[in-house]
Structure 1
């Protein structure tokens, strides 16, 4: 699998969701269109994860998804390495969309902007955050890139007052954070880091220390999860210092949670536990100022999820399982990605607690949920869960899960 086949997979997944089909439904319709019964959900999943290129199925995909066959053939040629072919998706990288040079130096050559324009941009940034609650990175990456480009272009070309300029920079900072998060979820880590750096520069230029800490902490979280936990610790702790004691309690709790996770992945258990305790203390403090809109999702349940993740990673399942079970019982089913992620931690904790039958049941739920998501995070967690279950492959329930879904470990 390479960047080209992964991009083809993202493109096919976006087409499927645009047609309102699950992977099972697409497989069934391809069987009807071709007059065979040889397309399974697993095969559709392999296409979307970039493990295979559809090949002979392209005409039937074009028919079922109502897209030109020429477009699908060009996409397949791109995935196979044809240098003349282009992937027909909006925005392949942030570099395609953002100008060279200093991205946040205004030229003052365009129309005049005022407070209403900042308000509109804030609404678009918040809408993107809300969409991320229910959609995966692969579905949102194109629109997200376009929003960030539009905001940067506005700042560079328009004329505005100092107050309006600061408001624009704040929104670019917020967009940089959410676009980075979306790109990371889609598995495009370089693009995510680029977006985070744009957002961090804008937040600092605007003088918004709390926002800068959120962007820096998001990048720290990415580093922590992609083999750089000690760098993640350093950056997450720097984000806490940048925010300072005057940051709203909910935001400080979030930043401290990221510190806890980075220490956990760096195998530093005591600092991790201390950071968790500080996060809960911060959230319990009386608010001296309202939290920013982007922190709307930070609450006691979210802190308990991080507690449980840390406990699971530290092999303390008796503390992790009750927390995850309670939170999952209260979580909205529309948040499919988070449900898949949280259940993945529950499955691992159950395996650690020597409850392989229950772990296998949760593993099936994780795979079922993640199969219809264009999220590298959930795909990776599904592989982690299946790998953990191999210790119990002699248990019939586990053996059945591994026989049904073991191919995911080959991706």
Structure 2
């Protein structure tokens, strides 16, 4: 039954000729770069590449998600989605019932969303993740359950892990599902933090590596994409473990991604794995390892033509030097990071780096100066990071404000620290991140002797209630 559903779905895909005409003489890669540039102009973040453009033109994506919709309408003012060759979202999602509540913004149409499916796990009205996770569930269930080489895992977020018999070789549908799982996990983490996602996200990761282990890809290009997708998925799941305080699990996932990169000869994946390994090492207090990992990542990234990637890796190195108390090493790395950053974005920038803009640049500098004990300087950078951050990316906004609160508290500005702490608490209803909660608890401890100050006492009481 699953196979026939997949076949009928493929048969319904109609090439989007209107969208193809709008691309004109530009290559898919050039057009994808134009999409990313347009997104930055309106403060949007999309992970657009040539494959995405190809899928739209092939009719595989019948309607864009909300982020892409805003970008496309900005690029082509005066045109509606129908003029761009897309189907109205209401038509595409018409068969989706029984969800308990509608999905949140930006959660629609990851893949062709015209196949109604139902979840075996009812949505919980208390969880901000469930409607989004249902979306990911449908994507992965369709891809993994309708293909499956011998004993491949059929996984989805929020659903169980099963086995399906061999039917055919691994192809684009399976690889697309892995790649989309990575994108969805990143988006959900941006919105809500890691704690509510980690356990569920581990299931598609096991499925992706089961596909790799089966070794039944039809083409070398498909195998390369599958390796890259599985490695990126390992990093994404590793980050969820990292952000939720499961450092040993994170280290294992990052090592798995690095091994995958080495097997596939994928320098971009290797650089990403080293970047996250450096970040984890710094958070775990292994500062020398943080420096070495960041330097190894820079070595892997040198041929990738992405100054922004080298900038981020230089910032990771700076964080390691700061943790070692080496001000000179930190400043040299920061100067290099700024020089790379100032070269601007490039078409070769990895898709996963969509988070890395000026707010993150400021936040990572704040962390460096905080590690060196220069609290007022750290607070200035953290304040700028919070001011620049897009308000829709709640998790990062909460993180930057938590950093600001910590720096102000240690810098001798208790009232301002309490005010920033209140702002973090305002955001924590929709964010589940052990990392942020731990930072806020540390700030509360620093401020405890100042309880007699009105704003501080109010924050401490509110924080204690939130912890309870």
Same fold (TM over 0.5): yes
Matching residue within 91, 107, 114 for 2:171: 114
Deviation at 1:288, TM superposition (A): 6.4
Check 1:227–1:326 CA distance in 2 against 1; reply closer, same or farther (3 A cut): closer
* Structure-2 residue corresponding to 1:150: 207
The 1-side partners of 2:158 and 2:187 are apart by 21
* Structure-2 residue corresponding to 1:323: 381
Q: Structure 1 stretch 207-216 or stretch 183-192: which is displaced more?
A: 183-192
1:81-138 per-position Cα deviation (integer Å, ceiling 9, x unaligned): xxxxxxxx979xxxx989xxxxxxxxxx762123454334222222222222112212
Q: How does 1:53-64 map to 2 (within 5 A)?
A: none
The 2-side partners of 1:403 and 1:288 are apart by 47
The 1-side partners of 2:421 and 2:124 are apart by 27
- Whether 1:138 and 2:195 are equivalent positions in the alignment is yes
Matching residue within 253, 261, 268 for 1:210: 268
Check 1:127–1:406 CA distance in 2 against 1; reply closer, same or farther (3 A cut): closer
1:347-389 per-position Cα deviation (integer Å, ceiling 9, x unaligned): 1232344322111111222234336533110111111211222
Deviation at 1:268, TM superposition (A): 2.0
* Structure-1 residue corresponding to 2:294: 236
1:304-331 per-position Cα deviation (integer Å, ceiling 9, x unaligned): 1211222233333443334333332332
Q: Contact 1:221 / 1:258 at 8 angstroms: preserved in 2?
A: yes
The 2-side partners of 1:16 and 1:228 are apart by 42
Check 1:257–1:394 CA distance in 2 against 1; reply closer, same or farther (3 A cut): same
* Structure-2 residue corresponding to 1:300: 358
Matching residue within 129, 134, 142 for 2:186: 129
Q: How does 1:284-363 map to 2 (within 5 A)?
A: 284-285=342-343, 289-363=347-421
The 2-side partners of 1:127 and 1:229 are apart by 31
Check 1:382–1:334 CA distance in 2 against 1; reply closer, same or farther (3 A cut): same
* Structure-2 residue corresponding to 1:272: 330
Q: Contact 1:129 / 1:178 at 8 angstroms: preserved in 2?
A: yes
Q: How does 1:31-70 map to 2 (within 5 A)?
A: none
Matching residue within 239, 243, 251 for 1:181: 239
Q: Contact 1:173 / 1:198 at 8 angstroms: preserved in 2?
A: yes
Q: Structure 1 stretch 188-197 or stretch 250-259: which is displaced more?
A: 188-197
* Structure-1 residue corresponding to 2:226: 168
The 2-side partners of 1:244 and 1:183 are apart by 28
The 2-side partners of 1:265 and 1:331 are apart by 25
User: Any stretches of 5+ residues in structure 2 without a counterpart?
Assistant: 1-120, 129-156
Q: Structure 1 stretch 187-196 or stretch 147-156: which is displaced more?
A: 187-196
* Structure-2 residue corresponding to 1:70: none
Matching residue within 241, 247, 250 for 1:192: 250
Q: Contact 2:318 / 2:334 at 8 angstroms: preserved in 1?
A: yes
* Larger RCO of the pair (alpha carbons < 8 Å, separation 6+): 1
The 1-side partners of 2:124 and 2:315 are apart by 35
Identify the structure with the greater helix proportion: 1
DSSP 3-state at the match of 2:197: helix
Check 1:182–1:21 CA distance in 2 against 1; reply closer, same or farther (3 A cut): closer
Deviation at 1:271, TM superposition (A): 1.2
Q: Contact 2:192 / 2:430 at 8 angstroms: preserved in 1?
A: no
Count matched residues.
317
DSSP 3-state at the match of 2:356: coil
What is the root-mean-square deviation of aligned Cα atoms in Å? 3.1
The 1-side partners of 2:122 and 2:375 are apart by 38
Q: Contact 1:111 / 1:158 at 8 angstroms: preserved in 2?
A: no
